[in-house]
Structure 1
Amino acid sequence: MKHLNKLFVAVLMAMGLNAHAQDSNNPWAISFGVNAVDTRTSSGSGSGFFEQHFSQPFAVKDNWNILPSLSYIGVNRYVGSGFSVGLQGSVNKIEKYVIFDPLNATADSRGNYVDNPGDLMYYGIDATIKYSFQELIKSKVIDPSLSVGGGYTFFGDSSFGTFNPGLGLTFWFTDAIGLELASRYKWSFGDREEANGVTPDAPSHFQHTAGLVFKFGGKDTDGDGIYDKDDACPEVAGLKQFNGCPDTDGDGIVDGSDACPDVFGLAALNGCPDTDGDGIADKDDACPDVAGLASLKGCPDADGDGIADKDDKCPTEAGPRENGGCPFLDADKDGVLDKDDDCPTVAGPASNRGCPEITTEALEELKVQARAVYFNSGKATFKTGDKETPARLDAIKEILKNYPNAKFSIEGHTDSDGSAKVNQKLSEDRAAAVKNALIERGVNAENLESKGFGSTQPVASNKTAAGKAQNRRTEIKHIGSKF
């Protein structure tokens, strides 16, 4: 492992340089594996350049020097348009050195003369410019390439520069992991002193490599598997088909363009649902569960009067808006249309909003009937055994129901017997008793009020029994309209 020291120095140098990767998403790559050095081309044997260099390209057993351990490592960076640059460090041990010296070497099975130079270490540091054809051939697996570069080689006690044309082929298992095969012809240049007049110290040679390559460096902030450079929504995890943008409701419309991103909807409505199918998005539909008209914000108009059913007092009968969607009617035939008639079922003059005006005769009858309602002495209960009181209350009810918009005050009075405080309370309770009895008979409670006056408003003398009897009374007075 001591021979790897120079290799790791080369790697540290490479980490500080721009180098090559396979694409712009993951601009960096690191590769490592084994290398083989073939010095056969340095022998000068053969009748021509191609015979010398390519007649035995795969004579692994006879000509290749392979160190059975990790023997190269490289760092690379993509620079765009299929091009990448990189730096590689390698180490090897030369045990097969092909020479053209039949006197001092043994011929191999192919007729070359192979010398074993002993513990001859090999170190190489090489920079490369590479062009990948992967984008051109539109393949995700096969990645052929051509390269050119230069480097410096330590060959035993010698060192020299090289010019390195090459080619490679990478098989990608995933987007970031691949098997890389490459071969370079390292043509040496510089002074070539000969050892014993035969072997050059700066031999040109082939170097073959095989190893794994790992791409990295791509930024994916939201972790959705789409790199930020290609992600239209880099801060939010999304889908590949939407360039990295999310579609929360799964309706095929990205959230950024979806007016209702949390609810599955229709493309025609910018991603919003239309429950009733009337072509109006639920969010804009005042009646989302019932099909309606766009002019009425999605609400129906059964009678076609231009008023939505929900706002139409007569949804099945056409009528003007000023009449609440109902046709103009005058049910009680009093000349006041129902829409303006506070008492549409009882005839009355327009001056009283269509309600009947209370007559003097009615007021007199109320007075007679109310004064004839008797109570138990000192109490607010109707006189025990008096069979006329219920009939009088019924008569009062019949009068009051003819005036549905009129308000009446029920007043309670007492004679002078007892304290003023007791009489006040008693008068209030008796007025309330009459009021409650009328409400129980169907009179609208909003038309009635009650109050007591104690003994303060006598209608006869309290010095006689007859006068006191007249003062113990209830009266009903008209006090106006409730409208």
Structure 2
Amino acid sequence: MKNLSRIFFAMLLLLSFSNVSAQDENNPWAIGVGVNAVDLYPTGEDGQGEIFDEYFNFGDHYNILPSLSSVSVSRYLSDGFSITAAGTINEISKVGDASADDLSYYGLDGTVRYSFASLVNSPIFEPYLGVGGGYTWVDEVGAGTLNGTLGFNLWFSENIGVTVQSSYKHAFEDYLPTHFQHTVGLALKFGGKDTDGDGVYDKDDACPDVPGLEAFNGCPDSDNDGIEDSKDDCPNEAGLAEFNGCPDADGDGVPDNKDDCPAVAGLKTLNGCPDADADGVADKDDECPNEAGPAANKGCPWKDTDGDGVLDKDDKCPNEAGTVANNGCPEVKPTVEEMETLNEYARTILFDTGKSTFKKESIQTLESMHAIFHKYPQATFALEGYTDSVGSEKSNQLLSERRANAVRDWLIANGIKQDRLTAKGFGEENPIDSNTTAAGRTNNRRVEVKLTN
């Protein structure tokens, strides 16, 4: 029993030095408790059979102590390797087919193991191989051994499992027989680093220094609204997912952090503020909140005869719609951008094949062009027609002239003064694309608009 006391003292010493805060891998430590079986049958020596002849002869060869008889401590190293220290006790009542006088058995062994967990890719089944050495006493006579180990772990959870192991122990002295020792026991892994104490190990914790929730990989949700703080625009106020965690106290569909009037329901277009007179001016900025008026007059209904947004008192052309930038008078010429828009429209006008009549779908395009012409009553424009190269130059010249005049006639018929528009055809001249492809010819059949004054 003196040797037994030494073994358990050694195991307690190993446990006392475990440092759970200094590891990088989850659960780097493991302890195991269980039972062991010793088979002292001669292993093929002196003509007594082959090494595995009686390996599974449980009844005649296995010596099992029916109580806790094995304790181990393991420490994970890296890349699948770990080191294990184990202590075992037993009673030997049979050696092969012969009986023995209940000889005492004590073992203290160290093993370097390699896990094949990454190879089998299973969270439950973990096979391993090991090699090591130790010291074994039988009837208080001891000798060193060289050990080879094959075993596996079955993990019921991240921390708890069962270990099944078989070791071949080759003795260095003739008086200790080379033998097998088999172990079955319960394994408990522990020691993963969890700096913030939230139950998520640092290795898997996206926020290792701040306590959080497992559902968010260890990151916090301070306002408990189901949105982690890093994705929550309002991390300290419980809110709605549709507003990235921000509340909408007045229920107007505008989150409080973007609502200029968070305590009263309003309009999205006015940043959550109400507009009682529906004049487009928020009540908080409206000097006449119950009487509709233009924004230029702070929501009060002062007169704007031509409806151009410039009050008559400030309008230099009060009877003619203009722009704010031109003090209520109409702009004389379209901008460069508007001319580009005009030409984009003009190039998409579709004519009937070989004719100057419009396809139905071009009417909306012409109406869009008309709006720009109408906006600048003082400006004059030239309409230029072009064709592709299919057909004779003479017929293409005549067709381009007819099409340019067709656009001019439509605009005049719809209210644009005729002295503001000229039309001219250029036939096949100035192609803007290749005439060798159908797409290129389509682009070349066009009308262009130029500002002349």
Q: TM-score range by the shorter chain?
A: 0.5 to 0.7
1:292 equivalenced with 2:292 (yes/no): no
What is residue 8 of structure 1 aligned with on the other side? 8
What is residue 114 of structure 2 aligned with on the other side? 131
What displacement does 1:81 show? 2.7
Which of 162, 181, 190 does residue 179 from structure 1 map onto?
Answer: 162
Count of aligned pairs: 302
CA–CA separation in structure 1 for the residues paired with 2:293 and 2:92: 108
What is residue 81 of structure 1 aligned with on the other side? 79
* Higher deviation after alignment, 246-255 or 119-128: 246-255
Question: Is the CA contact 2:65–2:90 (under 8 Å) kept in the aligned structure 1?
Answer: yes
Q: What's the secondary structure of 2:50's corresponding residue?
A: helix
What is residue 231 of structure 2 aligned with on the other side? 257
Q: What's the secondary structure of 2:42's corresponding residue?
A: helix
Question: Is the CA contact 1:127–1:151 (under 8 Å) kept in the aligned structure 2?
Answer: yes
Unaligned runs of 5+ in 1: 99-107, 109-113, 193-200, 330-336, 340-483
Which structure's CA Rg is the greater one?
Answer: 1
What displacement does 1:318 show? 4.7
- Map 1:34-49 → 2, pairs under 5 A: 34-42=35-43, 44=45
Question: Is the CA contact 1:18–1:86 (under 8 Å) kept in the aligned structure 2?
Answer: no
CA–CA separation in structure 2 for the residues paired with 1:187 and 1:18: 30
Which of 209, 234, 243 does residue 183 from structure 2 map onto?
Answer: 209
What displacement does 1:243 show? 0.7
Which of 206, 216, 225 does residue 232 from structure 1 map onto?
Answer: 206
Question: Is the CA contact 2:36–2:183 (under 8 Å) kept in the aligned structure 1?
Answer: yes
Q: What's the secondary structure of 1:183's corresponding residue?
A: strand
What is residue 399 of structure 2 aligned with on the other side? none
Q: What's the secondary structure of 1:159's corresponding residue?
A: strand
Going from structure 1 to structure 2, the CA distance change for 1:19 and 1:54 (only over 3 Å counts) comes to farther
CA–CA separation in structure 2 for the residues paired with 1:233 and 1:298: 35
Going from structure 1 to structure 2, the CA distance change for 1:19 and 1:136 (only over 3 Å counts) comes to farther
- RMSD, matched Cα: 3.5
Question: Is the CA contact 1:142–1:171 (under 8 Å) kept in the aligned structure 2?
Answer: yes
1:148 equivalenced with 2:122 (yes/no): no
CA–CA separation in structure 2 for the residues paired with 1:19 and 1:91: 27
CA–CA separation in structure 1 for the residues paired with 2:176 and 2:155: 36
1:163 equivalenced with 2:146 (yes/no): yes
Aligned residue type for 2:265 = V
What displacement does 1:228 show? 3.4
CA–CA separation in structure 1 for the residues paired with 2:199 and 2:233: 26
What displacement does 1:326 show? 0.6
1:307 equivalenced with 2:281 (yes/no): yes
What is residue 437 of structure 1 aligned with on the other side? none
Which of 216, 220, 235 does residue 242 from structure 1 map onto?
Answer: 216
* Higher deviation after alignment, 273-282 or 213-222: 273-282
CA–CA separation in structure 2 for the residues paired with 1:76 and 1:276: 60
Going from structure 1 to structure 2, the CA distance change for 1:211 and 1:11 (only over 3 Å counts) comes to same
- Map 1:440-459 → 2, pairs under 5 A: none
What is residue 89 of structure 2 aligned with on the other side? 91
Question: Is the CA contact 1:134–1:143 (under 8 Å) kept in the aligned structure 2?
Answer: yes
Going from structure 1 to structure 2, the CA distance change for 1:36 and 1:311 (only over 3 Å counts) comes to same
CA–CA separation in structure 2 for the residues paired with 1:255 and 1:140: 31
Going from structure 1 to structure 2, the CA distance change for 1:10 and 1:181 (only over 3 Å counts) comes to same
What displacement does 1:128 show? 0.9
Aligned residue type for 1:162 = T
What displacement does 1:11 show? 1.3
- Map 1:95-134 → 2, pairs under 5 A: 95-98=93-96, 108=97, 114-116=98-100, 118-134=101-117
- Map 1:57-76 → 2, pairs under 5 A: 57-76=55-74
What displacement does 1:132 show? 2.4
Question: Is the CA contact 1:314–1:326 (under 8 Å) kept in the aligned structure 2?
Answer: yes
Aligned residue type for 1:123 = Y
What displacement does 1:150 show? 1.4
User: Deviations 1:306-331 (Å, cap 9, x if unpaired)?
Assistant: 531332133465535574311227xx
Question: Is the CA contact 2:43–2:52 (under 8 Å) kept in the aligned structure 1?
Answer: no
CA–CA separation in structure 2 for the residues paired with 1:305 and 1:291: 14
CA–CA separation in structure 2 for the residues paired with 1:177 and 1:293: 56
Question: Is the CA contact 1:76–1:84 (under 8 Å) kept in the aligned structure 2?
Answer: yes
* Higher deviation after alignment, 244-253 or 206-215: 244-253
Aligned residue type for 1:255 = D
Q: What's the secondary structure of 1:10's corresponding residue?
A: helix
What is residue 281 of structure 1 aligned with on the other side? 255
CA–CA separation in structure 2 for the residues paired with 1:212 and 1:19: 22
Query: TM-score, normalised to structure 1's length?
Result: 0.54
What is residue 293 of structure 2 aligned with on the other side? 319
CA–CA separation in structure 1 for the residues paired with 2:295 and 2:238: 37
User: Deviations 1:109-158 (Å, cap 9, x if unpaired)?
Assistant: xxxxx252x35322221111112233443433333222121112223354
